[in-house]
Structure 1
Amino acid sequence: MAKRLLDRILVVDVEATCWDGPVPEGQANDIIEIGIAVLDVATAERVDRRGIIVRPERSSVSPFCTELTTLTQEDVDAGISFAEACAILRTEYRAHERVWASWGEYDRQQFERQCAALGVPYPFGTRHLNAKTLYSLARALPREPGMAGALADAGLPLEGTHHRGVDDAWNIAALLGGLLAAGRS
């Protein structure tokens, strides 16, 4: 069993190939960006951020996807393989030993599906934190808001570009940091 590290939370947000409508025949949703923000548990401060551009293996970037994420086919063609990106999560971030969080279940499920489809070892341990549910429960909200709605609810600005993994992870980490700090006061 992997050692459990509770010093930092890895906040992850992925962007994947997408279309304005159903997935075209012969293609599948591929992760094209992994945004990582590191949240120090002791201080509730965001201490690091990174965006990893991933080259899709089963699809291409549609005009709709570029409009949503700002990422182009040329951007992702210069990225690294999904297997390399997962290896970075394990070796540089020790993702298999740390709690990791995302806004909802999509990111976790997309990693699970893509790892299984491509035969890539899953880079995380079993301790996934659904920040969307946690935020909603902590704030006694009647429903789970999107990330931008939660930022507005918390009185925080949306930093960067919405639907860019690196920026969304940074913003989610701000929301989690606020919950950690509020729990201590």
Structure 2
Amino acid sequence: MRLNVVDVEATCWDGEPPPGTVSEIIEIGLTVVDLGSRERISRHRILVRPSRSTVSAFCTELTGLTQAEVDTGVGFAEACGILAAEHAAGSRPWASWGDYDRHQFTRQCGATGTAYPFGNRHTNAKAVFTQAHGLRKRPGMAQALRVAGLPLEGRHHRGEDDAWNIAALILDLAARRAWPMT
């Protein structure tokens, strides 16, 4: 069974957003996992051009993404269309680290009148990891990699790299028979 592992980066600020702006997705990282063979089979990156905010210096420092870079991206509705058409987002189960990504898509789809690209089979990988490892607090992705003894590959807070790393954590959970096979 294939699973889409999704991680988004969004416009952000050190403190409150400037008046009239909202946090918008600027990068969608997606890794396709084959749970049967227990391997990451592809990785993808969709840059998304924000329409109601800009990339702050804080956001660039955190993610490495610049306004000039995201200006080359596609609009949000087109990005959702790509998820549906090229990555079977509506029919394939998907996972993210926590619920932020799912909620951000819900908010942004609602605000823009864009069809939600995903089906209803979402798994919060952070919750599964926390339970499988008997932890009291839910760890961030980088901390979870350390707990699992796995390397952090690429740049933390870069959607494509974070999706790749979350996929490694999911495969580790599957090897421990702790991943729900939905």
What does 1:73-112 correspond to in 2, within 5 Å? 73-112=67-106
More displaced 10-residue stretch of structure 1: 175-184 or 23-32: 175-184
Q: Percent identity?
A: 61
Q: Aligned-pair RMSD on alpha carbons?
A: 0.8
Q: Quick one: distance in 2 between partners of 1:95 and 1:44? A: 20
- Which of 47, 54, 67 does residue 48 from structure 2 map onto? 54
Structure 1 counterpart of 2:25: 31
Q: Structure 2: which 5+ runs fail to align?
A: none
Q: Deviations over 1:30-86 (max 9, x none)?
A: 100000011101011111001110000110000000000000000000001111110
AA aligned to 2:60 is T
* 1:17 and 2:19 matched: no
Structure 2 counterpart of 1:179: 173
Q: Quick one: distance in 1 between partners of 2:73 and 2:46? A: 8
TM-score by length of 2: 0.96
Q: Which runs of 4+ in 1 moved over 4 A?
A: none
Q: Structure 1: which 5+ runs fail to align?
A: 1-6
Structure 2 counterpart of 1:151: 145
> How many residues end up aligned between the 2 structures?
178
- Which of 110, 122, 129 does residue 135 from structure 1 map onto? 129
Q: Quick one: distance in 1 between partners of 2:175 and 2:99? A: 24
SS of 1:95 mapped into structure 2: coil
1:98 is displaced (CA, Å) by: 1.0
